A and B are shown apart, each in its own frame.
Chain A
Amino acid sequence: MVESDAKPDGVAVMKPDSSALEVLGLTKRFDRLAVDSLDLTVHAGEFYALVGPNGAGKTTTLRMVAGLLRPDAGRVSIFGIDALQDPVAAKQVMAWVSDEPMIYDKLTPLEYLEFVAGLWGIAPSVSEPVAQDLLSSLGLAPHRHERCEGFSKGMRQKVALAGALVHDPRLIILDEPLTGLDAVSARHVKGLLGERVRAGCTVIMTTHILEVAERMADRIGVIASGRLVAEGTLTELRQQNGDADTSLEDLFIALVTLPEAA
C-alpha cells in the first residue's frame, strides 16, 4: 500500500514503488453502482488487459484513472503521483485513447500530432521526427497532409493512437483500441504497443477480443459488476479455475457469470 507525502512545492507524491498504477477503493455510482471499491495494481513495464462483460465498469474505471471522471471515493496513484491531488503531474506521464477516436476533422494527422505534442510541452525538435515515424509505422504517411475529415474509422483510430504515443508517455491507457481496425492495422497497432512495452512503457487496455488479451497481456484482470473478480497471468487464472487446459473464453464466461448469478 502506498502512502501520500506532501512535497514542499505542493506536488502530492506517494512513496515510490514499482507500480505504474495503484488504485485503492475506487468507487463510482451513477444510477447504479458502476465501480465498487475496486483495488488494482499494475506494475511498471507491464502489459495489463482488463476484460469483462458490457457494463462491468471497465471504461468507468479507466476514465477515472485518466482524470476524465471524478471518483466518489478511492485513490489513484500513477508512478507514485496522487492523480486526484495533482492531476496535471499525473497527466504529464500518461496517455488515454478512447474507443471512439476523437480527432479534429479539419486538421491533418501531422497537424494533430503537432498540437498534441504542443499540449504536452514537447520540443518540436523532438516531437516532429517522432510524429513522422509514428505516421509511417501506422501506414498513415501518404495521408499526413490530408485533413482527417475523409478518414475511415480505422484511420482515425490510428491517428488518435499516434497522438497518444507522440509525447512518449510512461503509461498508456487504451479503451478497446482495436475496435474498427482491419487485420493489417490491428497487427500494426499490436506491434507498436508491444514495442512500447519492451521499451519499458506500461500499457493498460480494455478489450472484448479475448484472443488479444491471451496473446499480448502479461496479466489479465477480469472485472464484473464493478469488482475485480480475478487477476493474474493466464496460467494463474487457469490454476484458479482448476483446469489447466481451459481457454480464456471459457474461463471468462465462468468467472463473469458467477457475480451476475449472485
Chain B
Amino acid sequence: MSSATALSWFARHELRLAWREWFAMMTGGRRKRTRAAIIGLVCFAALLHLPAWAVIGRFAELQLPLDKSSLIVISATIFLAWTLMLSQAIESVTRVFYARADLDLIMSSPATLANLFSVRIAAIALTVTMMALLFSTPFIDVLVIGGGARWLTAFGVVVALGLSGAAIAIAVTILLFRLIGPARTRLIAQILAAIIGAGFVIALQVAAIMSYGTLSRFTILTSGTLAAYAPDVDSIWWWPARAVMGDSEALLLLLGLALVLLGSVMAVFSHRFADTAIDAAAYGTSGMWRAKERPFRTGSRQQALRRKEFSLLWRDPWLISQTLMQLLYLVPPALLLWRNFADSAAALTLITPVIVMAAGQLAGGLAWLTISGEDAPDLVATAPLTPASLIRAKIEVVLIAVAVIFCPLVAALAFASPYQAAISAGAVIVSAASATAIQLWFRVQARRSQFRRRQTSSRLATIAEAFSSIGWAATAALLLALPVAGLISGLITASLVAVTWKFSPKRD
C-alpha cells in the first residue's frame, strides 16, 4: 500500500469511528432510536433558530463600514466563540491521549506513525469544526435570511476558528505533557479548558461590574472608553469581523492563516503525538499519586460510604474542572453582591437565579457520579446495609457538597437582603433535591469514567434535569420580583418534576 493510499485509508477509518461515536451518543447506542434521533435533531435545529432570531436577528441589516463599537462587539463575539472551541478542543485532545483504545494496534503496525498521527490531528480539528458549524448554523441562517447571502462568509470564519482552535489546543496539550508530565496534565488541561471556556465572559462581566455596576458584558464592549483605546477601523485586528460580514479577502486570509497554523502543528507535533500518547497510556503504572500513612478511621457504615464518596469526588479531575467552572460563573454575581452590599439594588435580584441554576446543575452531576457511577456495585450490593440506607448516604454526600459550595454565598446575601437570601436558600435546596431525585429515578449502573456520556442513558432525565434547574431558577427570581408569577412558575416546575417521576422506570 502506497503512503497516500495508507493515509486516505486511515483517514476514512478515523472518520468512520468519529461518525459512529457521535451517532452512538445521539441514539444512546441503540439503533432502534435512529429515526427518533434524526427527528429530534431536526426539531432541535429548527427550534434553535428561534432564540437565534431573538438574539441576533436585529443585526442582520448591519453593513460595512462599521463604527468602532460595532466592530468591538462583533470581534468580541467571535473571540468568545473561538475560546469556547478552544476549550472543547483541549478537552477532546486530552481525551484522545488518555483513551488507550487502538494505540497498541497503531504502534505495532508497520505504518509511518507521524503520518497516522497527522491524520488523527486533522480528525480532531474536523470534529471540533463540525460541532462549531452545527451550533452556529442557526445563527448564520438567521443573518442570511435577514441580511442576504453576504453573511454566508460567516461559515468560512467558523471553519477558520475551528481549525485554529484545534491547532492551538493540540500544541498547548502536548507542551503541557512535556512541561508537567502526563499525571498532572490530565487535571491541569481539564481546568485550563474550563477557565478558557468561561474566562472571557467572566472577565467582561467583572469589568462591567467594576466599572458600571452591571452584569451586562455589552456595557463594557459598547463603552466609549474601550472605543478610545481600540485600533483604527482599518486595522488588521478587525479582519475577523469584516470576514463575517462578507469581506471575502479577509475571509481568505483567515482561512489561510488557520490552515498554515494547523499544518505547522501537524508537522511539528505529529512525531511527539505518538510519544505523548505512549506516556499517557503508561501513566497509569507510574504510581504518581501516593497517599499519606494514616490510621483507619472510626465511624458508622454510612460514614464509611460517605467518606469513600467524598474521596472519589475530590479526586475526580473532570468534576473538579466542572465545579471550578460553576464557581467561576458565580464570581460575577458575587462581585455584584459585594459592590451593592449596602443597598438592595434591583441588580442584586439577578444573583438568585444564577445561584439556583448552578446548584441544580452541580447536584445533577454529583448525583449521577455517586448514585449511578458506582465502580464497585457488587461490593456495595453485598455489604450488610439496606438499599435505602445506601442511597440515603449517597444523597447526603450530594447535598452536603452543594451546601458547602453555596452556603457562603447565601450567607453573604443574607447581609444585603435577608428575604432574598431566604428565597435563594429555599430554591437552592429544592433545585438540588429535584436534580438529585431525577438522577435517582433514572439511575443506570455505569462506570464513573462514563460520566461524559451520562446523557445518552436517558434523554428524558437529561432534559428534565435541565428544565427543573431552569424552572426553579425562574421561580426564585419571580418570587422576588412578582410573587404571584413565582408561585405559578413553582407549580409548573413541580408538575414537571412529578411528570418526570411518572415516566421513570419502575423498580422492585
B residues in contact with A94, CB < 8 Å: 382
Interface mask (A105-136 → B, CB under 8 Å = 1, otherwise 0): 11110110011111111011001100100000
Q: Are A104 and B312 in contact (CB under 8 A)?
A: yes
Does the CB pair B379–A146 fall under 8 Å? no
What chain A residues lie within 8 Å of B297 (beta carbons)?
114, 118, 124
Closest to A94 in B: B382
A145 to B382, CA, bound (A): 25
Task: Please measure, in the bound complex, the distance between the C-alpha atom of A149 and the C-alpha atom of B381, giving whole angstroms.
Answer: 22
Q: With the chains together, A117 CA to B297 CA distance in Å?
A: 10
On whether the beta carbons of B291 and A110 are closer than 8 Å, the reply is yes
- Given contacts A124-B297, A150-B284, whether A119 and B315 have CB atoms under 8 Å apart is no
The answer, yes or no, to whether A68 is at the interface (CB within 8 Å) is yes
A119: chain B residues within 8 A (beta carbon): 301, 304-305, 379-380, 383-385
Most central of B291, B293, B300, B380 by chain A CB within 10 Å: B291
| Cβ A107 vs Cβ B308 within 8 A | yes
Q: How close is A229's CB to chain B, nearest CB, in angstroms?
A: 27
A108 close to B382 (CB less than 8 A): no
Contact of B375 (CB < 8 Å), options: A102, A114, A128, A147: A102
> Considering the complex, which residues of chain B in the window 373-420 have a beta carbon less than 8 Å from any beta carbon of chain A?
375-386
Most B-side CB within 10 Å, residue of A119, A120, A160: A119
A216 within 8 A of B: no
User: What sequence of 0s and 1s flags, for each residue 193-221 of chain B, a beta carbon within 8 Å of any chain A beta carbon?
Assistant: 00000000000000000000000000000
CA distance A131 to B293 in the complex (A): 14
Q: Which residues of A contact B296 (CB under 8 A)?
A: 114, 117-118, 124, 127-128, 131
Task: Among A70, A96, A143, A163, point to the contact of B287 (Cβ < 8 A).
Answer: A143
Across the interface, which residues of B come within 8 angstroms of A146, CB to CB? Answer: 287, 289-291
B311 engages A107 (CB within 8 Å): yes
Most chain B CB atoms below 10 A, which of A96, A103, A108, A150: A150
Given A118-B301, A149-B284, residue A91 in contact with residue B384 (CB < 8 A) = yes
Q: Are A105 and B375 in contact (CB under 8 A)?
A: yes
Any chain B CB within 8 A of the CB of A89? yes
Q: Chain B residues near A124 (CB, 8 Å)?
A: 295-298
Contact A107 B312 (CB under 8 A): yes
Q: When chains A and B are docked, how far (Å) is the Cα of A110 from the Cα of B292?
A: 11
Give the contacting residue for B379; candidates A88, A102, A111; CB below 8 A.
Answer: A102
Q: Which residues of B contact A37 (CB under 8 A)?
A: none
A-B contact count (CB 8 A): 112
How many angstroms between the C-alpha atoms of A148 and B129 in the bound complex? 37
Contact of A145 among B285, B291, B305, B311 (CB under 8 A): B291
Instruction: Return B286 CB to nearest CB of chain A, in Å.
Output: 6
A78 to B311, CA, bound (A): 34
Instruction: State whether the Cβ of B307 lies closer than 8 Å to any Cβ in chain A.
Output: yes
Whether A92 lies near B384 (C-beta < 8 A) is: yes
* Residue ID in chain B nearest A128 by CB atoms: B296
Nearest chain A CB to B451 CB, angstrom units: 13
Q: Check if B303 sits within 8 Å of A118, measured CB to CB.
A: yes
Q: Report which of A106, A123, A145 forms a contact with B290, defined as CB distance below 8 A.
A: A145
B293 and A145 contact, CB distance less than 8 A: yes
Distance between Cα atoms of A163 and B383 in the complex (Å):
11
User: Within 8 Å CB of B305, what residues of A?
Assistant: 115, 118-119
A146 to B287, CA, bound (A): 6
* Shortest distance between the CB of B384 and any CB in chain A (Å): 4
B316 within 8 A of A: yes
Asked if A67 and B289 make an inter-chain contact with CB atoms under 8 angstroms apart, the answer reads: no
Whole-angstrom distance between the Cβ of B81 and the nearest chain A Cβ: 35
**B508 contacts chain A at the CB level, 8 A cutoff:** yes
Also in contact, A128 and B290, with CB within 8 A (given A102-B377, A106-B316): no
In angstroms, Cα B448 to Cα A105, docked, is 10
Contact with B along A75-107 (1 / 0, CB 8 A): 000000000000011011011101000111111
Closest to A175 in B: B378
A66 at the interface (CB under 8 A from B): yes
B299 at the interface (CB under 8 A from A): yes
Q: In whole angstroms, what is the CA distance A205 to B307 when docked?
A: 32
Which residues of B are found within 8 Å of A127, using beta-carbon distances? 296
Known: A96-B378, A119-B304, A123-B298. A89 touches B312 (CB 8 A): no
B261-285 Cβ-contact flags toward A at 8 Å (1 or 0): 0000000000000000000000111
User: Of the candidates B285, B292, B382, which one forms a contact with A150 in the assembled complex, judged by CB atoms under 8 Å apart?
Assistant: B285
A88 to B316 Cα, complex, angstroms: 31
Q: In the bound complex, do residue A70 and residue B508 qualify as a contact, i.e. CB atoms below 8 Å apart? A: yes
Q: Which residues of B contact A110 (CB under 8 A)?
A: 291
Q: Check if B291 sits within 8 Å of A102, measured CB to CB.
A: no
For A96, the chain B residues whose CB sits under 8 A away are 378-379, 382
Cβ of A163: which chain B residues have Cβ within 8 Å of it?
379
Contact call B375/A98, Cβ cutoff below 8 A:
no
Nearest CB of chain B from residue A127's CB, rounded to whole Å: 6
Residues on the B chain within 8 Å of A111, using CB: 291, 311
Q: For the complex formed, measure the closest distance between the CB of B275 and the CB atoms of chain A, giving whole angstroms.
A: 19
Give every chain A residue within 8 A of B287 (Cβ-Cβ).
143, 146-147, 150
Cβ < 8 Å to B, chain A residues 58-73: 66-68, 70
Using A102-B379, A107-B308 as known contacts, say yes or no to A118 and B299 having CB atoms under 8 A apart: yes
Complexed CA–CA distance, A104 and B305 (Å): 13
Contacts of A117 in B (CB 8 A): 296, 304
**A68 and B295 within 8 A (CB):** no
| A108–B291 alpha-carbon span in the complex (Å) | 7
Contacts of B283 in A (CB 8 A): 150
Complex interface: chain A residues within 8 A of B377 (CB): 102
Partner of A115, one of B289, B308, B386: B308
| Residues of B close to A89: CB separation below 8 A | 384
Give which listed residue, A68, A104, A115, contacts B378 with CB less than 8 A: A68
A70 to B295, CA, bound (A): 38
The answer to whether A120 and B312 have CB atoms under 8 Å apart is: no
Q: Is the CB of B295 within 8 A of A116?
A: no
- Apart from A110-B291, A115-B308, what 16 extra A-B contacts exist at CB < 8 Å? A68-B378, A70-B508, A102-B375, A102-B376, A102-B379, A104-B376, A106-B312, A108-B290, A111-B291, A111-B311, A119-B304, A119-B379, A119-B385, A120-B301, A145-B292, A146-B290
A interface residues with partner B (beta carbon < 8 Å): 66-68, 70, 88-89, 91-92, 94-96, 98, 102-108, 110-111, 114-121, 123-124, 127-128, 131, 143, 145-147, 149-150, 160, 163
Give 17 pairs: A residue, B residue, CB < 8 Å, sorted on A: A68-B378, A91-B384, A92-B384, A94-B382, A95-B382, A96-B382, A104-B312, A104-B375, A105-B375, A107-B312, A108-B291, A115-B308, A119-B301, A145-B291, A146-B287, A147-B287, A160-B379
Pick the 3 closest A-B CB pairs, nearest first: A118-B304, A124-B296, A150-B284
